[in-house]
Chains A and B, each alone.
Chain A
Amino acid sequence: MFGYTGKVLHLDMTTKKSRIEPVTEEFCRKYIGGVGFVARLLYDSTKPKIDPLSPDSVLIFATGPFGGTLVPVGNKHAVGGKSPLTGFIGDSLSSSFWSHELKKAGYDALIITGRADKYTYLFIDDDTVEFRNGEALRGKSCLDAEKLIREELEDRNIRVASIGIAGENLVRYANISNDRRHAGRTGLGAVMGSKNLKAIALRGTKTVRVADLDELTRICLDLYERAQGPPTEKYRVLGTPTNVLVFNRLACLPTRNFQQATFEGAEKVSGEYMLEHHVTKVSACASCPIACDHYSFVNEGPYAGAATSLDYESMFALGPNCGVDDSPAIIKALELCDYYGLDTISTGGVIGWAMECFEKGLLTVKDTGGIELTFGNHRALVQLIHKIASREGIGDLLAQGVKRASEKLGEGSELFAMHIKGLELPGYDIRGLKTAALGFAVAARGACHNRSGAYDYDIGGEVDRFRAEKGRGKLAMESEDSAAIFDSLMLCKFIRRCFKDFYDEAAELYEVVTGLEMKANQLREAGERIVNLKKAYNVREGWTCKDDRLPPRIMKDPIPDGVAKGSLVTPNELDLMLNDYYEARGWTEDGFPSKAKLIELELDDIAKEIGDERRAEQVYCL
């Protein structure tokens, strides 16, 4: 095969055995790679209703067809499993050299099951697999684990994906890190920790073959050039922290746990401010001509020496969402999340919620171990991150994620627990971005700005962002399907505006790399298939339309400030948009994939399993 390696490596942590299974061309064309592979492999390799932190659960790593080739921004991988945060499908992306190395080692995907009796790390050295003693790595950060593994294996070029202390302690939003990049969302680091698996080290020496190298070179040179132009300027100049001031001005910058949509300290935590005061270098992932990674450093003060890569989502979550305008403290908080292996969005979401609980008297200094957990208290922010990772004191409650923590605390704190399906909201106040609100509501992995880019319609002025109306369902669907293809081809979405016609050009790239026939309409259909498959997995796990609801604050409390003042998404507006979306998808009116749609998408086996009978059963349970 070209592009693909044609192999999936199965690893059983309990028996310490591995085996290879082939991947067929038909499988590749139907599910493309990345999240598409994850969705199908997860569906097929687990029984329904498993505990995501049990040995029965699986953890999947999947590359895309472009990994290890010339294709710009094509070196990403997806990690997937049942999310311990949501109970539904969890998938998260990372990028750079680890993805490249997995392909060169000869695998399209890894499927890991079971639980090792002792802490272990895997060393995949082309065709050789070793289950190595990882006890000495316990308690180490991801960067330290990488360093120690390279020293032990005496090869500084080995690539490592690992969990930090948060993953070891089964924090439900622990991440998996490689090359200073992170598969952050949905808590798959906890799944890895539950398997007593600290790290996966790779050494690959094989060549990834492509079907037509000359044509691929021609297309890629053109794409590299386009990726240096205005469409990516935002990422190159300031990085994603550009969003801070833009969102503040549009009043969609979540502040103090979404109590406000503008932040008076926005200038002090903006991309512009960071560039002037903290950014020391700009770097790129493997094969990326954009280079969005703005590495930042604190020179003086109590957080002197702290360093991290900045991105908008992390900055919103640990900055404005916690009322913090102290840029060195935000860099320190991000550095700690990297050190412990915590998803920054969920960490900031949980801490913002805890701060609001404290200010409302639902948590006291007795609960927090003496911490004055008020908004803006950056020392408290930093202290809590230590507690969450180690599950010490209140950290044990917060390590469960905002959904479980609010259910346990009760007293009305659920009303301002900002999550969808259990996943904490990213940095968009969707009360004034109504297409985005729909996209967030229906996303299979929970509140998500990556599996649906529906905010583009709102912010770009394609629609009136303050209005809910018919037609948004189709827009949300198209955005989701397109995102599914980006995340299966494993292309970074930052290149999305460099394509003149994404489906046409991506299909051409796919053919040139893999030699498999792929037309734009087939690629589009593959995106729809993958979204339906993910939804089918969720249905099998017990999804009902209640899971597509927005947080109460989004539907009850209007935005109090800025140009979006007064805006919210009423329950009626949400219902209107959900009905429109389900109809656009060809699903039933209560949001279940119809048998006919699944069969149309060549998911006949799944149609049999989760078709109308299961729907009837779950609707009855409502």
Chain B
Amino acid sequence: MKVTVEFLGPVRTLAETKEAEVDLNDEARIRDLLVAISEKFPQLLNRVIDAEAFKLKEPYGLSVEGRYAVKDVDAKIGKNNRILIFPIEAGG
């Protein structure tokens, strides 16, 4: 399945694009998505994505459609999901 990932804040600046599409198998988990993104955007490794555990580094978060935050990297991804990666730290 194809999943669209939106990048916001420093993630967008590092990735140098607003969004990307990644190909995943139908049983893919969040961790698989992060591995695929790391392959496409290696500059995110260790800045946004932990290179060993393939989870997001503090203070980045992931949300499905901007509505539901996902903390568990073993959570399954739904078809046609748009995933956001952004700094969860608000304030300003």
Contact = CB atoms under 8 A, between A and B. Distances in A.
A251 interface: yes
B70 interface: yes
A250 B88 CA distance: 11
A219 interface: no
A233 B10 contact: yes
B91 A494 contact: yes
B70 to A, nearest CB: 7
A249 B59 contact: no
Nearest to A267: B18
Contact of B9 (A246, A251, A313, A465): A246
Contacts of A589: none
Nearest to B88: A460
B69 A460 contact: yes
Nearest to A262: B66
Interface residues of A, number: 40
Interface string A593-615: 00000000000000000000000
Contacts, number: 99
Interface in A239-258: 239-243, 245-247, 249-251
B67 A563 contact: yes
Contacts of B10: 233-234, 237-238, 242
Contacts of B30: none
B42 interface: no
A497 B90 CA distance: 12
A249 B66 contact: yes
A382 B49 CA distance: 43
Interface stretch (A80-88, A298-306, A449-457): A449-457
A132 interface: no
Contacts of B52: none
Interface in B27-57: 47-48, 57
B59 A240 contact: no
A512 B14 CA distance: 38
A233 B92 contact: no
A516 to B, nearest CB: 29
Contact of A231 (B48, B59, B68): B59
A230 B66 contact: no
A245 B8 contact: yes
A428 B66 contact: no
A497 B8 contact: no
Given A249-B84, A460-B69, A563-B65, A234 B9 contact: yes
Interface string A458-490: 011100010000000000000000000000000
B9 A230 contact: no
A240 B91 CA distance: 7
Contacts of A247: 90
Nearest to B46: A230
Contacts of A241: 92
A292 B5 CA distance: 27
A428 B91 CA distance: 9
A233 B44 CA distance: 12
A242 B58 contact: no
A461 B66 CA distance: 11
Given A245-B9, A246-B9, A249-B6, A453 B87 contact: no
Interface of B: 6, 8-10, 12-13, 47-48, 57-61, 63, 65-71, 84, 86-92
12 contacts: A233-B47, A234-B87, A234-B89, A246-B90, A250-B67, A272-B13, A453-B90, A456-B89, A460-B59, A460-B88, A461-B88, A497-B89
Ordered nearest first, which 7 A-B pairs have the shortest CB separation? Answer: A461-B69, A240-B92, A312-B92, A460-B88, A242-B9, A234-B87, A237-B10
Interface of A: 230-231, 233-234, 237-243, 245-247, 249-251, 271-272, 275, 311-313, 427-428, 449-450, 453, 455-456, 459-461, 465, 493-494, 497, 562-564
